[in-house]
């Protein structure tokens, strides 16, 4: 089952795995966990186990049925490189990616070390797969960038969301795209505008595409309100840059 996405930087989601476990502060208020519980209560197929990690091989063929070029966020409801996802299953997922070159797949993980190990064994990253890591803070997030750099992907990206603190200097060598966003939901933690601007400035200096997704539950003025009311303007404008894929051919 694929689903049209409201996420600003993608078009559809594809979840051949659902469920996860928390490993760092960015996971604290996981939107996918809340959504999985809601879907289980609604009796939605695939969520019979709630947020317990579950492989859904019946969904593997979904992108094969779609000819229209589509940008997929792969595993928005899980982490493809979770320790309980077998290597053989990841290979099956990536085989579908390779067999559908008309689509683009954005694969985001917090298990950067496992991802690097997986591809270090001679496996290839399909050219239509963009590989990314979450960078929510200095201790857990920033070290993931070095692991990502080891992955031979055509596009490497960072999801700096939820941005929980000033992340300091970033080495963006061989990184092509940076997304920044604040946390949403009832328990959202605030994001300081200075943290965002510092990441944006570093992207500009290092010539990396910058995308500002949202302020989330706390506005730039430090007031709590709906994420829609807070919007996604930074310095009086929106920032929607995408990586220049053609330049890497």
pTM, full prediction:
0.94
DSSP 193-211: HHHHHHHHHHHHHTT-EEE
Count of C-beta atoms within a 10 Å radius of residue 208? 23
pLDDT, residue 158, reads 98
| Dihedral pair phi/psi, residue 64, rounded to 5° | -65, -20
Per-residue CA distances from 241 to 48, 157, 180, 201, 245 (Å): 38, 12, 12, 14, 12
| Dihedral pair phi/psi, residue 132, rounded to 5° | -140, 165
217 with 227: CB under 8 angstroms?
Answer: yes
- In the structure, what pLDDT confidence band is assigned to residue 247 with cuts at 50, 70 and 90? very low
pLDDT, residue 2, reads 63
The mean per-residue pLDDT over the stretch 19-46 comes to 96
CA atoms within a 13 Å half-sphere pointing along the CA-CB vector of 72: 30
DSSP-based three-state secondary structure for 42: helix
Please tell me the distance from the alpha carbon of residue 15 to that of residue 113, in angstroms, as a whole number: 22
The mean per-residue pLDDT over the stretch 213-223 comes to 97
The helix or strand, by DSSP H or E, that contains position 246, with its residue range, turns out to be none
DSSP-based three-state secondary structure for 84: coil
117 vs 121, more confident: 117
Provide the residue count of the chain.
249
Strands 177-181 and 209-214: parallel
The mean per-residue pLDDT over the stretch 196-218 comes to 98
135 with 160: CB under 8 angstroms?
Answer: yes
């Amino acid at each position: 089952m694929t689903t049209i996405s409201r996420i600003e930087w993608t078009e559809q989601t594809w979840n051949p795995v659902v469920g996860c476990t928390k490993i760092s502060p960015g996971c604290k208020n996981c939107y996918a966990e809340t959504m999985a519980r809601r879907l289980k209560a609604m009796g939605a197929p695939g969520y019979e186990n709630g947020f317990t990690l579950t492989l859904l091989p019946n969904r593997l063929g979904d992108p094969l049925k779609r000819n229209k070029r589509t940008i997929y966020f792969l595993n928005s409801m899980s982490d493809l490189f979770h320790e309980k996802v077998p290597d053989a299953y990841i290979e099956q997922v990536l085989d579908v990616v390779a067999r559908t070159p008309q689509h683009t797949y954005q694969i985001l993980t917090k298990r950067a070390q496992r991802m690097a190990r997986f591809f270090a064994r001679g496996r290839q990253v399909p050219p239509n797969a963009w590989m990314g890591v979450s960078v929510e803070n200095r201790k857990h997030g920033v070290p993931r960038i070095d692991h990502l750099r080891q992955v031979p992907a055509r596009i490497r990206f960072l999801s700096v969301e939820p941005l929980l603190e000033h992340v300091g200097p970033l080495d963006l060598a061989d990184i092509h795209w940076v997304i920044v966003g604040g946390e949403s939901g009832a328990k959202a933690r605030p994001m300081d505008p200075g943290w965002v601007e510092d990441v944006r400035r570093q992207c500009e200096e290092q010539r990396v595409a910058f995308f500002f997704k949202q302020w989330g539950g706390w506005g730039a003025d430090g007031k709590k309100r709906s994420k829609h009311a807070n919007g996604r303007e930074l310095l009086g404008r929106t920032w929607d840059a995408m990586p220049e894929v053609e330049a890497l051919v």
